[in-house]
Chain A
């Protein structure tokens, strides 16, 4: 950087005043990250929370349990390929799976808005039951509250889940090692575009469906086969890019990936081109990355591909020592660039 430049401080705009929560704080990007780091984590500070994982792994007697919670405020409640009920179950099951745990049981808390048709609640609950059965978990406890009309968005769902850890591995960013292979379980961006299409009334030639699916089965198979899994993360808000950046920053290593190795369905790519969105930052609900030793990568891919939910698993990159804390992407034209965390949600561009 040029050192002898004097900056007058004169600037056409003052600092953006952020003394209120804005939607960008919930976008899974840098702003949400800062909110947690500044307000939430210091207040609750403890060892499991310090791991900044999607769930906490807690020692209980001789064994270990995984514990996680998540709230679902999706709008609209129903969208192509799923609804708030399927999300509420798969999201929590997947958070447990990413701890390398076998999901045991879930809780369900409902915040219902006065005036919600009972048929809507029935439909959501039926989806939850169906998804829980498919994921082999029971919903064993719960809570229901009703708020005044106008103070909710129909229905909000919170689920918490407990799983049992049946291995000795520490599955966390701190276990990632230089040389590890990075495996991605399938194409990215479908959930984000599916939701945006319904929410904004966008119509494409074909309906784009969410990828929402429970991921415990392929993960447990990897572990059962003795794959030395170093880190797992499902790709939710913020997408593949944000997930990898978090892991690079926590592990203080470099993650190098290739744009060509990352599958994006044709219709999702089309929607992204039109709206000026980057599929690497779009939400997913049925995709994950696994960091495994390079020597086991091929075997791990074979195991993953045996599951329909990970049938298109591929290796997208490798971990190395430097440049530390960064994710770099080799573009389609062969150049390399840095992937950085977005502030909030992606905003469609003007032109």
Chain B
């Protein structure tokens, strides 16, 4: 398949892996920011190709994993209402809140539907004027433009039975929060390619400079990730801390300007809670005053609902790259994708779920027992 197979080539992968090994003289810890990259790394066993000196840390870039408990609870509350058609991307349905998940709301009679785009949810609103259609607007800068477009269109068409439950988070403030934490281990970043397709990479220059950390905008295929690691290691070895673009076939320095303009028109930047990490200033989006009528929290009166999360949970440390999933005693025993204890076990992009899926037996098979 064009644009896929050439980035999954065995010979080229092995060649880049050899070059990485050749240039690596010291131990380095590199964080891939995006959950999609984590999924690829574990699925293709990319870390098996790397020299032992390189440690990959799995970052906070899984939207399912970082959505706070109270937002899930709000979603469950709204989805259970009889007048509501609750629309969500598929992998949010299995995330447990305080009282079950969206699947269990559906099992008890809630009208919960998987959609592939917020514009599909808007169409449902047009087609069902007597129902309230709510879209669970989860994600990073990648999904924000389409969500902004759905609200913008609903506003233009004066659609009154559509709203979104906003849980948008932003990557650069999270990277800064990780870098400024006292237990930070990250020495270089693979920045999330699709986020940068929308946002460009100019906002990373101050981060690279302030924390003296190389940041390489990286794609998602095995060769992308290997090349991103090579570029990052080369910078670390040479003592450079620059922003480089591995994913040039998709990312331009200034990003997608029309998408950014639409996001800025519909959303404003606010502090957001991140599951397992806590509140980070200026790290998310909320709807602007002009579009406040489309805010599901206001419409269904759940704006004041708060739940405290236990800051001791290891999933927070996994999300910050401080610990690996296998360092949790509950991993694979008390905590599995069927009965997840933490959100990182839910989405296939979550580090714990990715390890469970592809690595659960690794130690057993390595030891031959």
Contact = CB atoms under 8 A, between A and B. Distances in A.
Contacts of A16: 94, 96, 100-101, 104, 339-340
B211 interface: no
Contacts of A8: 310, 312-313
A119 interface: no
Contacts of B94: 16, 24, 343-344, 347
A60 interface: no
Given A269-B1, A326-B365, A350-B139, A7 B328 contact: yes
Contacts of B312: 8, 10
Interface residues of A, number: 52
A269 B98 CA distance: 37
A23 B101 CA distance: 12
A331 interface: yes
Contact of B338 (A17, A34, A200, A276): A34
Contacts of B100: 16-17
A322 B107 contact: no
Interface in A318-351: 322-323, 326, 328, 331-338, 340, 342-344, 347-351
A323 B364 contact: yes
A140 interface: no
B338 A348 contact: no
A14 B90 CA distance: 21
Contacts of A18: 104, 339
Contacts of A334: 10, 13-14
B210 interface: no
Nearest to B365: A323
Contacts of B1: 266, 269-270, 273
Contacts of B9: 332-333
A347 B339 contact: no
A30 B338 contact: yes
B116 A348 contact: yes
Nearest to A34: B338
Interface string B349-369: 100000011111111110010
B10 A13 contact: no
A342 to B, nearest CB: 8
A118 interface: no
B101 to A, nearest CB: 6
Interface of B: 1, 4-5, 8-10, 13-14, 36, 42-46, 48-49, 63-64, 69, 72, 89-101, 103-104, 106-108, 114, 116, 120, 138-140, 142-143, 194, 222, 275-276, 309-316, 323, 326-331, 336-343, 347-349, 356-365, 368
Interface of A: 1-2, 5, 7-8, 10-18, 20-24, 30-31, 34, 200-202, 266, 269-270, 273, 275-276, 322-323, 326, 328, 331-338, 340, 342-344, 347-351
**Can you list the 9 inter-chain pairs with the closest CB atoms, starting with the nearest?**
A335-B45, A347-B90, A10-B310, A10-B312, A323-B365, A12-B309, A16-B96, A348-B90, A333-B13
9 contacts: A7-B328, A8-B310, A12-B342, A13-B72, A266-B1, A270-B1, A326-B365, A333-B222, A351-B194
Given A10-B313, A275-B116, 17 more contacts: A1-B326, A8-B310, A10-B311, A11-B330, A16-B100, A16-B101, A17-B100, A20-B104, A22-B103, A22-B104, A22-B107, A269-B1, A273-B1, A335-B46, A340-B357, A348-B91, A348-B114
